[in-house]
Amino acid sequence: MLAGTLVRDRALNPLANLSRLQRLWLCEAVRLREDQAGLLDDSAIVRQLRHEALDLPQRIEQRALRLAARDGQASALQHAVQGARLALLLLAVLAVAGGFSMALAALGDGLRPVNLLWALGSLLGLHLLSLLLWLLVTACLAQGPAPSGQLWLWLSARLARDAQAAQLAPSLLLLLQSQGLNRWLFAVLSHTLWLLLLLGALAGLLLLLASRHYGFVWESTLLDSSHFVRGIELLSRLPALLGFPAPPPALIQTSGGQALVDEASRQLWSLWLLGQLLTFGLLPRLALLLFSLARLASGLRRLQLDLQLPAYQLLAERLQPRHETLGVLDAAPPPPLLSSHHAAQVGQGRLLCAVELDPERPWPPAGLAADIPCSAVLDSREQRQQLLEQLAARPLSRLLIACDARRSPDRGSLALLRELASYATASCVWLLPGEDPQRLLDWQQALQAAGLPWQAQHELPRWLEHSDA
């Protein structure tokens, strides 16, 4: 039941339980989206943030998060994370299975002797080559993903099953690239997969050696026994420090060309092969994985948004006006949209306003009490923004909004009505009816769907005259 509740809460609020990296990730995703498609409609969010006790970086972050939650990017982020985890799990399973197959290819079916040179090359050859390539790429400070990283990104996008989730990957890469963390992210991924592959090979070796009889030989056309003896002795030095036995020279020479059948020799060569895999395969990958994890974790702790980017510079003045930045506390501005004889009554918490009335409609309406403030008709975008700023700073107890029912209830008008109503404890839409009853019915249905109370009559409703209490 608790798990189900958590799932429902997360579905209702996609911003819940986001990590710091995910929050910065969404900020960068919104920035890239606006770079490509232009600024989003954020007027309501900006007004709210201006009246919250936040500094500029927090306001930029909150703006991006609220836009992401509104436009579906926050939900897409959850799908992207799920897709990334599924892709990583799939790659991990393939790595373990590949390691087991590699051990089987190295040892064979037990019907033929195991060539030590071939077995060692099968187990460690590709691993050592990829390790050298990684060191070379890291030394050159390359930022691009390795083949394993590209495969992971591709699988993540496919498994996310969300078109917006596929667009989130570039924003994450750009965010990490700003601190040079790309190489460490893909290094962690690469070393993890290689470590799982080698663990699968180790498990395969143990299972095969425990269940089958293998004879070990060395066969070479170019190398004679002396070269092979020196090579085996050199390779055995590091495993010997971990307790793995080193084959004596006599055993090495005897193993050339024919398989030894005594159990002691079989066990000695088996332990030697396991020691090679552990010393030159697993331990280096584990050490590099821990090193890469440490570098990645250290970089993530320092990760911040680059506020010097042009997009964030443009947001600074909108989210934090200059007088706030300088620390000047101005007195609250008077309500410029209110008629002069009602201006002093704004603090009472009641207001009558009108949205896009036809000129023949008288305004202010007849019968308006002297103690009820009345705004001018909101015809322009500037007038709307001005009143919304005022209401955001001083929420009302009661708000009556007059609308001309002869106009069509379009989405823009309904969005404005909802935003105006959000700044009042109680609100009501006053529909001024016309000659077309169908148009009035359309308004009533639209307001009901939007959850806004309404009254349709020619006379001024007495609702606004009720006490604020």
383-431 residue pLDDT tens: 888 888 888 878 888 888 988 888 878 877 888 888 888 888 888 998 8
Using CA atoms, how far apart are residues 27 and 67, in angstroms rounded to an integer? 9
Domain(s) of CATH 3.40.50: residues in the chain: 342-465
Q: pLDDT tens digits, residue range 407-419?
A: 878 877 888 888 8
- pTM of this structure: 0.69
Q: What's residue 137's pLDDT? A: 80
Q: Kindly tell me the sign of the dihedral angle through the C-alpha atoms of 47, 53, 59, 61.
A: negative
Amino acid letter, residue 441: L
Q: How confident is the model at residue 348 (pLDDT cuts 50, 70, 90)?
A: low
Using CA atoms, how far apart are residues 256 and 363, in angstroms rounded to an integer? 108
| Cβ burial, residue 456 (10 Å; 0-12/13-18/19+) | middle
What is the SS3 assignment for 452? coil
Going by C-alpha positions, the residue among 301, 77, 294, 312 that lies closest to residue 187 is 294
Phi-psi region of 327 (alpha: psi -120 to 50; beta: other; left: phi over 0): left
Q: Which two tokens stand for residue 329?
A: 């506390």
Q: In what order do the strands lie in the sheet with 374-378?
A: 374-378, 350-355, 396-404, 424-432, 454-456
Measured in degrees and rounded to the nearest 5, phi and psi for residue 377 equal: -70, 130
Using CA atoms, how far apart are residues 205 and 211, in angstroms rounded to an integer? 10
Length of the chain: 469
Q: What's residue 226's pLDDT? A: 76
With beta carbons less than 8 A apart as the criterion, state whether 345 and 352 touch.
no
What is the percentage of the chain residues whose pLDDT exceeds 90?
18
Residue 269 has pLDDT above 90, yes or no: no
| Cβ burial, residue 310 (10 Å; 0-12/13-18/19+) | exposed
Residue 294, number of CB atoms within 10 A of its CB = 12
Using CA atoms, how far apart are residues 286 and 19, in angstroms rounded to an integer? 26
Residue 215 has pLDDT above 60, yes or no: yes
Using CA atoms, how far apart are residues 100 and 77, in angstroms rounded to an integer? 35
Q: How confident is the prediction for the chain on average, in pLDDT?
A: 80
Which residue's entry shows tokens 């708000």?
399
Q: Is the peptide bond before 364 cis (omega within 30 degrees of 0)?
A: yes
Using CA atoms, how far apart are residues 221 and 229, in angstroms rounded to an integer? 15
| Cβ burial, residue 183 (10 Å; 0-12/13-18/19+) | buried
Strands 350-355 and 396-404: parallel
Which residue's entry shows tokens 């495969």?
151
Report the pLDDT averaged over residues 177-200: 91
Contacts 24+ apart (CB under 8 A), 438-446: 439/405, 439/406, 439/407, 439/408, 440/405, 442/408, 442/409, 443/403, 443/405, 443/409, 446/409, 446/414
Which residue's entry shows tokens 């969404």?
26
What are residue 10's DSSP bridge partners? none
Q: How confident is the model at residue 103 (pLDDT cuts 50, 70, 90)?
A: very high
Residue 229 has pLDDT above 70, yes or no: yes
Using CA atoms, how far apart are residues 429 and 410, in angstroms rounded to an integer? 15
183 alpha carbon, distance to own chain's centre: 18
| First-to-last C-alpha distance (Å) of the chain | 41
Residue 96 has pLDDT above 90, yes or no: yes
Q: What is the DSSP string of 297-346?
A: HHHHHH----TTSHHHHHHHHHHS-HHHHTT--PPPPP-TTB-GGGGGGG
What are residue 424's DSSP bridge partners? 396
Q: What's residue 297's pLDDT? A: 93
What are residue 398's DSSP bridge partners? 350, 426
CATH number for the region 342-465 comes to 3.40.50
Of 36-45, 102-111, 230-239, 286-295, minimum mean pLDDT range: 36-45
Q: How confident is the model at residue 281 (pLDDT cuts 50, 70, 90)?
A: very high
**What is the enclosing helix (H) or strand (E) of 293?**
helix 283-302
Of 112-116, 319-323, 339-343, 366-370, minimum mean pLDDT range: 339-343
Residue 316 has pLDDT above 50, yes or no: yes
